[in-house]
Chain A
C-alpha cells in the first residue's frame, strides 16, 4: 500500500504543479512581453494540432498525413467569413472548424477504403486536392492568396475590452485574445481527450487499436468509432488552423495547406514526446520549441535534427520521451490504463464476509 500512497501523493503534486502552470500561462499576456505571447501562441496551437493527430494515430490507428487539409480549410473559411461575408473573425474560426468537420466526412468515406499505411497516402492526396481547389478560389486571391483587411482584428470580439483592461495597443490585445483562445483550446482538448479515452468509447477505441478481432467480438464497431474520432479531430484541427491564420493575417494555398508546417512538425512533436500518451505531445511541443529557439537560424539543419530525432525515437524508444519517463519512474500524470483490482491476498484489508 505504501507504494500506491506515494504514487497518489506524487499525483496530487503533479496536479498542483499543473494548476500553477496553467495560472501562470493565463497571466502571460499581463506580465510577459508580446514576443513571448506570440511564441507561446504558436507552441499552444501546435500542441492542439499534436493532440488531435495523437488522437488519430496514437489511439485510433489512423495515421493521417492530410491534417493540413483541415488547417487550410479552417483558415480559408475563416477568411471568407471575415472578408466576403463581413462576420467577426472569431465567428469565422467556429465556422472554419465546422467546415473542416464537414469536409472530413466525404474524406473519411474515401480514405477509410484504404488499409493501414495506404490511408496515409489517401489523406495526403485529398489534402492536396483541397489545396489545389483553394488556389482556384479567386475571391480569396487564387494561387497568390489574400490578407485580412488592416484593422480587422482591432474590432474582433473581446479585443476592445482587453485593450481597455490591460491598457495596451489593439494589436497586443488581439494577440492576447488569440493566445487565451489557444490556451483554452489546448486545455479543452486535453480534458476532452482524457475524459473520452477513459470513457467506454475510448476504451473501445484502444481495444480496437490493440486487438481488432477481440474488440469486434465484444461488440465494438471499429469503423464507426474511428469515423467519429476522425471527424471530431477534423473539427479541432480546423478551429486551430483558423485561429493560427488570424494571427498570421495572410493566407496562401501553400502556407495554409503546408504539409511540413501542419503535419510533419506535428508528427515529430507527437513521436518525440510519446505517441499514444496524453502528456507526450506536451513534452514534444516543449522539445520542439527549445529546438526551434536553438536552431531557428539554420532552417534546414533544424528539420534534419527533427527528422533524425524522430527516427531515433522510433528505433530506440517507441513511446517517446514520456514513455521513457513513465518506464523509469512508474509515474503517469494522466494514466489511461484501467488497472484490475489488487488481488485480495496482497491487501491488508480484511476480507469482506460473503453473505
Chain B
C-alpha cells in the first residue's frame, strides 16, 4: 500500500516536471534550440509572480495570469534579439549564449532578491486535500498534474489544429521552403519562445506553490526538464509528459528508500531509459 501511495505521489510530482519540460520540448521541436537558461527563466517567472503578489496583494493564481503576457513578451524579445542571431548549423553559439543567459539571470535574481528562500502563499487551498479511495491527494499537486495534462493537450491542439501550429510544423520541417509560403521563420520562432515562457510561468506558479524556491535552483529544474524531454523522445509532447512522470515516479521511489537518493534515482532512471531506448520512449523527430 505504501508503495502504491509512493507511486501516486511520484505521478503528481511528475506533473510538475512535465510542466517544466513542456516549454523546452516545444522550443526544441520547432527550432532545435537547446535552451540552457530554461530553468532559470522558470525561476525568474516565479519571482515575477511573487513581485506582482507582493505589490498588489493578489492571489498567486491571479498574479500568474498577469505574469503570462509579461513572460510572453519577454520570450518574444529574447528570441528576436538574442536567440535568432545565433541559431544556425553550428550548435555551439546557441548553447553558449543560453548558458551565458542562465548565469546572468541567476545572478541578477540573486542581486535583486537575495538568496533567501521564498514561497508563493496560496491561501487556504495550500493545505486542502481530497480523498480518492485509499489515497489522500493534495489539491495543489493534483492541480499541477491536471494543468500538465491540459498544457500538453492544448499545445497538441495548437500544433495540429491551427494555422499557427501548421506554421510551427512547417518551419520545423524545412526552414527554407516555408519562406516561399510567406512565413518568416524568425517570427514563428519568436512566438514559439513566447509560448514556451508562458508555459514556464505556469510551471513557476506550481513550483512556488509546492515548495520553497531561491535564485539558484534553476539549473537543477533544467536537468529534470531535459531528462523528461529526452526520455519522452524528441519532438513528442505526450512523450514529454510521460518522461516527466518517469522522472517523478523514480524520484518518489528513490526518496522512499532513502531521502538522499531522490535526485539520484531520477538521474539513474534517465540513464537506464536511454541505455535501453537511445531515442527515448516516443521519438518523432529524426534527430
Partners in one complex: yes
- Measured CB to CB, the residues of A under 8 A from B are 57, 63, 65, 110, 113-118, 120-122, 124-126, 128-129, 132-133, 135-136, 143, 259-260, 264, 267-268, 271, 275, 300-301, 303-304, 306-308, 310-311, 314-315, 318
In the complex, which residues of chain A have a beta carbon less than 8 angstroms from the beta carbon of B36? 65, 120
Closest A-chain residue to B34, C-beta based? A117
Whether B111 lies near A301 (C-beta < 8 A) is yes
In the complex, which residues of chain B have a beta carbon less than 8 angstroms from the beta carbon of A268? 100
Whether A300 lies near B110 (C-beta < 8 A) is yes
Closest B-chain residue to A120, C-beta based? B95
Closest A-chain residue to B103, C-beta based? A307
Whether A308 lies near B100 (C-beta < 8 A) is yes
Whether B264 lies near A132 (C-beta < 8 A) is yes
Whether B34 lies near A125 (C-beta < 8 A) is no
Whether A63 lies near B95 (C-beta < 8 A) is yes
Whether A129 lies near B268 (C-beta < 8 A) is yes
User: Could you tell me the distance between the alpha carbons of A300 and B101 in the complex, rounded to whole angstroms?
Assistant: 14
Whether B34 lies near A121 (C-beta < 8 A) is yes
For this complex, into which size category does the number of interface residues on chain B fall?
Answer: 35 or more
Interface majority SS (helix, strand, loop, mixed), chain A: helix
For residue B34, give the distance in angstroms from its CB to the closest CB of chain A.
4
User: Could you tell me the distance between the alpha carbons of A133 and B258 in the complex, rounded to whole angstroms?
Assistant: 13
> A271: which of B96, B110, B223 is its contact (CB, 8 Å)?
B96
For residue A115, give the distance in angstroms from its CB to the closest CB of chain B.
6
Stretch at the interface among B84-92, B157-165, B168-176: B84-92
In the complex, which residues of chain B have a beta carbon less than 8 angstroms from the beta carbon of A118? 34, 226, 230, 234
Closest A-chain residue to B86, C-beta based? A314
In the complex, which residues of chain A have a beta carbon less than 8 angstroms from the beta carbon of B99? 65, 264, 267, 310
Closest B-chain residue to A129, C-beta based? B267
> A121: which of B91, B108, B223, B268 is its contact (CB, 8 Å)?
B223
Whether B107 lies near A300 (C-beta < 8 A) is yes
> B260: which of A124, A136, A300, A303 is its contact (CB, 8 Å)?
A136
Most buried by B among A259, A301, A311: A311
For residue B264, give the distance in angstroms from its CB to the closest CB of chain A.
4
Which chain B residues (259-280) contact chain A, with CB distance < 8 Å?
260-261, 263-264, 267-268, 270-271, 274-275, 278
User: Could you tell me the distance between the alpha carbons of A110 and B110 in the complex, rounded to whole angstroms?
Assistant: 35
User: Contacts A113-B278, A121-B34 given; 6 further ones with Cβ under 8 A?
Assistant: A118-B226, A120-B95, A136-B260, A264-B99, A310-B96, A318-B93
Whether B227 lies near A125 (C-beta < 8 A) is yes
Whether B97 lies near A315 (C-beta < 8 A) is yes
In the complex, which residues of chain B have a beta carbon less than 8 angstroms from the beta carbon of A135? 260
Closest B-chain residue to A106, C-beta based? B271
User: Could you tell me the distance between the alpha carbons of A114 and B91 in the complex, rounded to whole angstroms?
Assistant: 13
> B111: which of A114, A126, A304, A307 is its contact (CB, 8 Å)?
A304
In the complex, which residues of chain B have a beta carbon less than 8 angstroms from the beta carbon of A275? 92
Whether B104 lies near A307 (C-beta < 8 A) is yes
> B104: which of A126, A271, A304, A315 is its contact (CB, 8 Å)?
A304
Q: Say yes or no: A132-B104 contact (C-beta < 8 A), given A117-B95, A125-B271.
A: no
Q: Say yes or no: A314-B97 contact (C-beta < 8 A), given A114-B230, A133-B264.
A: yes
Q: Say yes or no: A128-B287 contact (C-beta < 8 A), given A301-B111, A308-B104.
A: no
User: Quick check: is B14 within 8 A (CB to CB) of the other chain?
Assistant: no
In the complex, which residues of chain A have a beta carbon less than 8 angstroms from the beta carbon of B271? 110, 125-126, 129
Closest B-chain residue to A310, C-beta based? B100
User: Could you tell me the distance between the alpha carbons of A278 and B34 in the complex, rounded to whole angstroms?
Assistant: 27
The 30 listed contacts between A and B (C-beta, < 8 Å) are A63-B96, A110-B271, A110-B275, A113-B278, A116-B287, A117-B32, A117-B34, A117-B91, A117-B94, A117-B95, A120-B36, A122-B274, A129-B267, A133-B264, A267-B96, A267-B99, A300-B110, A300-B111, A301-B107, A303-B103, A303-B107, A307-B100, A307-B101, A311-B104, A314-B86, A314-B93, A314-B100, A315-B85, A315-B86, A318-B93
In the complex, which residues of chain A have a beta carbon less than 8 angstroms from the beta carbon of B230? 114, 118, 121-122
Q: Say yes or no: A125-B223 contact (C-beta < 8 A), given A110-B271, A310-B96.
A: yes
Which chain B residues (221-270) contact chain A, with CB distance < 8 Å?
223, 226-227, 230, 234, 260-261, 263-264, 267-268, 270
User: Could you tell me the distance between the alpha carbons of A303 and B104 in the complex, rounded to whole angstroms?
Assistant: 7
> A132: which of B85, B263, B270 is its contact (CB, 8 Å)?
B263
In the complex, which residues of chain B have a beta carbon less than 8 angstroms from the beta carbon of A303? 103-104, 106-107
Contact with A along B95-124 (1 / 0, CB 8 A): 111011111101110110000000000000
In the complex, which residues of chain B have a beta carbon less than 8 angstroms from the beta carbon of A121? 34, 223, 226-227, 230
